[in-house]
Structure 1
Amino acid sequence: MPSQFWDEQLAARAGRYARFEFDFPPRTLAGKVIIAAGGAGGLGAATAALLVEEGAQVVVGYHRNRARAEQLGAALNTRGPGRVESVEGDLRDPRGRRNLVEAAAGLTGEIYALVSFLGDPARVDFAALDESQLEDSLSTNYVAPLLLAKLVAEHMHARNLAGSLVFLASMQAVAAFEGSVNYAGAKAALVHAARVLATQWGTLRVNVVAPGITLVGMGRTSIEAGKYDRYVRAKAIPRFGWPEDVARVIRLLLEPDNYITGQVITVDGGLTLRRHLA
């Protein structure tokens, strides 16, 4: 039985492919409004730089570190053609989440995507872990990103908008590393929640990026201290990760006509596969 979806447009596209004519449009995020929650530094800053270069309007949500957010805006807004707007607030608080979404909704153009960089990588030895520390980790690494995504999704669904949600997790969410129960457990929960959401949000693609050792934030501190030298020395990984590695994967998942949802992409140079070599 012929497909009920086969029409002139689909036939024309198939014809172009038969002639080796393929469509790779440039700057498909130009003018789009993208929320980067917790994106004022490190991986978030690299991603914002890539998106602004393409012409996107990036709304960066940050907490406390106003100087860093202002420095990011000053640096990127001189480069264009896109722009960065910064919104201060605690995204564990409902008011902070609402303020961020409202600020993004107030820009020219509709909200297209959320990228959540929210997280606190603090690790507590399991023997010393108490209820308060566990709740704090869950609040930052799981609850806040999920409730922010819910708010963004409600805003977009009410306006019949299609788009993309990207959560940042960690290689520790997809592989077991000693000494990170509170952090890894919360991020693993976020990974599975994203998969569940992808099954029910047809117009919103939901994906996760799980970075490995990267030369920003606490990763830089660990790299400088030689903590991961053995992995490079043993060729378990070819090098340490750059923030650009992660930003490019996020950009892929934000592509408007992207065909990926419900997936976790681990950007770790192969460490979770080959760490036994060290």
Structure 2
Amino acid sequence: MRWSCCVSVIDANLKAAHPERCSSVLVTGAASRIGRSIAIGMHADGANVAVHYNKSDAEARDLVLDMNRRRAGSAVSIQADLRGGECERIIDQVVDFFGGLDVLVNNASVFLKDGESFSDSLSEENYRVNFLAPYFLSKSAVSSLVLSSGCIVNIADINGDYPLEGYSLYSASKAALLNLTRSMAAEFSPFVRVNAVSPGAICWPVNSSALSEVQRKNIIGHSLLKREGSPWDVYKAVRYLAFDAPYVTGSVINVDGGRMARM
């Protein structure tokens, strides 16, 4: 009993000085691209990380295996299709494995171009993954986050503020996520902070035809820094909001090389 009390005091002091080292973090869409960088960065800083994925099974398992080699029991993979209403199960698995949840990073996203004709399925996929999944995950996680005085970081997009031509449904879904960020910040206050990061030209779409070379050059040309950013730039913003910004909620950080300053 005496030893457990000492451990509790040590854990409390460590968390006060280095909150990331005793934290449990869930990153959705963490098997690749920006989500993978966020997961790797959080783990390198000492957090326990739940790696959510949908179809990227091999990538997720390799990532978790590497994390657990570095620190046993510090990572777990969770498969779920965010279109299928499994949000509560995801949160339950994280809490069961780590004993709680400190940070939810709603990163998973689809980038779907508008069709030539209206499509219910296209509209539904954009909104289910980009907007409804973050909403239901956040609602499912809030009771655990209240216990840990935790936070939510949504990965939005500057196109939520400045729509991208040919991607009306995608841009609208990200605009909804930005609005949701502010709404949840008010709803969950004062116990849980909710913020967002809006990347600009960080990772081009996997489908090389999704954006033409002309579109890419135009995007870069409208930024103040005249270059692409790195997924690690997004991670650093997420880390700040998660661990170094106790008085920040309802805010959005644009990681866009100054592109929004030109809009």
Are the equivalent residues in 2 in contact too, given 1:27–1:54 (CA < 8 A)?
no
Amino acid of the structure 1 residue aligned with 2:136: L
What's the counterpart of residue 261 of structure 1?
249
Alignment partners' CA distance in 2, 1:123 and 1:223: 9
What's the counterpart of residue 111 of structure 2?
121
Question: Which of the numbers 92, 96, 108 marks the counterpart of 1:102?
Answer: 92
Q: Deviations over 1:202-250 (max 9, x none)?
A: 2100011111111365398879957423554676433201000000000
Amino acid of the structure 1 residue aligned with 2:24: V
Q: State the Cα distance separating 1:256 from its structure 2 match.
A: 6.1
What's the counterpart of residue 122 of structure 2?
133
The TM-score, its normalising length taken from structure 1, stands at 0.79
Relative to total residues, which structure has the larger helix share, 1 or 2?
2
Larger radius of gyration: 1
Q: State the Cα distance separating 1:80 from its structure 2 match.
A: 4.3
Evaluate the alpha carbon distance shift between residue 234 and residue 106 of structure 1 in structure 2; reply closer, same or farther with a 3 A threshold: closer
Alignment partners' CA distance in 1, 2:174 and 2:256: 16
Q: How many residue pairs are counted as aligned between the two chains?
A: 247
Question: Which of the numbers 67, 72, 78 marks the counterpart of 1:87?
Answer: 78
- List gaps (5 residues or longer) in structure 2: 1-15
Amino acid of the structure 1 residue aligned with 2:40: A
Are the equivalent residues in 1 in contact too, given 2:112–2:122 (CA < 8 A)?
no
What's the counterpart of residue 270 of structure 1?
258
Describe the SS at the equivalent of 1:51: helix
Alignment partners' CA distance in 1, 2:164 and 2:218: 16
Q: Deviations over 1:6-30 (max 9, x none)?
A: xxxxxxxxxxxxxxxxxxx763211
RMSD: 2.6
Identity %: 26
Alignment partners' CA distance in 1, 2:123 and 2:211: 27
Question: Which of the numbers 158, 172, 190 marks the counterpart of 1:185?
Answer: 172
Are the equivalent residues in 2 in contact too, given 1:213–1:219 (CA < 8 A)?
no
What's the counterpart of residue 63 of structure 2?
72
Greater shift, 42-51 or 218-227, is seen at: 218-227
What's the counterpart of residue 210 of structure 1?
198
Amino acid of the structure 1 residue aligned with 2:137: L
Alignment partners' CA distance in 2, 1:215 and 1:134: 23
Are the equivalent residues in 1 in contact too, given 2:201–2:220 (CA < 8 A)?
no
Describe the SS at the equivalent of 1:142: helix
Greater shift, 114-123 or 254-263, is seen at: 254-263
Evaluate the alpha carbon distance shift between residue 181 and residue 217 of structure 1 in structure 2; reply closer, same or farther with a 3 A threshold: closer
Are the equivalent residues in 1 in contact too, given 2:51–2:64 (CA < 8 A)?
no
